Copies of this chain bind each other. A is one copy, B any other.
Amino acid sequence: MQINVATADDWPAIWPFLREIVAAGETYTYPRDLSEDLAREMWMLAPPSRTVVAVDEAGTVLGTAKMNPNHMGPAAHIASASFMVDPRFSGRGVGRALGTYVLDWARAEGFRAMQFNAVVETNTRAVALWKSLGFTVIGTLPEGFQHPTKGFVGLHIMHRAL
Chain A interfacial positions (CB closer than 8 Å to B):
22, 25, 28-32, 34, 71-78, 112-113, 115, 117-118, 137-148, 152, 155, 157, 159, 161
Interface pair B73/A31, CB less than 8 Å apart: yes
Interface pair B143/A29, CB less than 8 Å apart: no
Interface pair B73/A32, CB less than 8 Å apart: yes
Q: Cα distance A78–B29 when bound, in Å?
A: 11
**A39 vs chain B, min Cβ distance (A):** 12
Interface pair B28/A73, CB less than 8 Å apart: yes
Q: What residues on B are CB-neighbors of A34 within 8 Å?
A: 73
Interface pair A145/B29, CB less than 8 Å apart: no
Q: Cα distance A29–B80 when bound, in Å?
A: 15
Interface pair A74/B142, CB less than 8 Å apart: no
The contact of A25 among B73, B152, B159, by CB within 8 Å, is B73
Interface pair A155/B75, CB less than 8 Å apart: yes
Residue of A71, A74, A140 with highest tally of chain B CB at under 10 A: A74
Q: Cα distance A139–B135 when bound, in Å?
A: 14
Q: Cα distance A145–B112 when bound, in Å?
A: 11
22 A-B contact pairs sorted by A residue (CB < 8 Å)? A25-B74, A28-B73, A28-B74, A30-B73, A31-B73, A31-B76, A74-B145, A75-B118, A75-B155, A77-B146, A78-B144, A112-B152, A113-B141, A115-B141, A115-B144, A138-B140, A138-B142, A138-B157, A139-B139, A139-B157, A141-B159, A142-B161
